[in-house]
Amino acid sequence: MAESRLGGGHVLVGVGGSVAAFKACDVVTELRRRDADVRVAMTDAATRFVTPTLLRALSGHRVAVDMWDGQNVESGHGMSHLDLASWCDLQVIVAASADLIARLALGLAGDVVTATALACPAPLLIAPAMEAAMWEHPATEGHATTLISRGVRILGPVRGRLASGHEGAGRMVEADVIVAAVEETLGTIARD
């Protein structure tokens, strides 16, 4: 990957419950290598694919999984999603499943990732990962269109081999594409 610096920008990496959740490790590692301050929030489903302990080691910060767990709260109001929303300069959600995209589009806030996205004024990037039939379903297409109309940037998915062994458009973009989009977006914010 090309060398650049994110200059201590605060990046929140949300991790969804797709099999591609393991790629969050590469995203977090590369963002930190480029001098970003990275925190991680995970859906419960994401923890079935990658552990909060691993992402804590990679990010250098506690990982938010439970909205009601006070260990991630710094402000004293008892709500980690509000702390994360006010802390970050940019939020990127990786391994976003069809379910997670639907919840984001509908404004549902039942987990720390969706609640933070709803409370966060910072730009939001989403990297979907799912079977092609799910990505191409009219419901998912509609939810993605809704998010795009609200200024969310959707990164991919791309065509490739999927977890099922099939080929199709549903594979999550690689970490370097996500990091480049984070750099571009933070660069745009800095110029404004």
In the numeric block, which tokens belong to residue 74?
Answer: 């710094």
Give pLDDT, residue 70.
Answer: 61
User: pTM for the full model?
Assistant: 0.92
Residue 171, strand partner residues? 158
Higher pLDDT, 70 or 57: 57
Q: Is the peptide bond before 52 cis (omega within 30 degrees of 0)?
A: no
Residue 190 pLDDT class (50, 70, 90 cuts): low
Sheet holding 153-154, edge to edge: 63-64, 37-42, 10-15, 90-96, 124-128, 153-154
Fold of the 10-191 domain: Rossmann fold (3.40.50)
Higher pLDDT, 116 or 78: 116
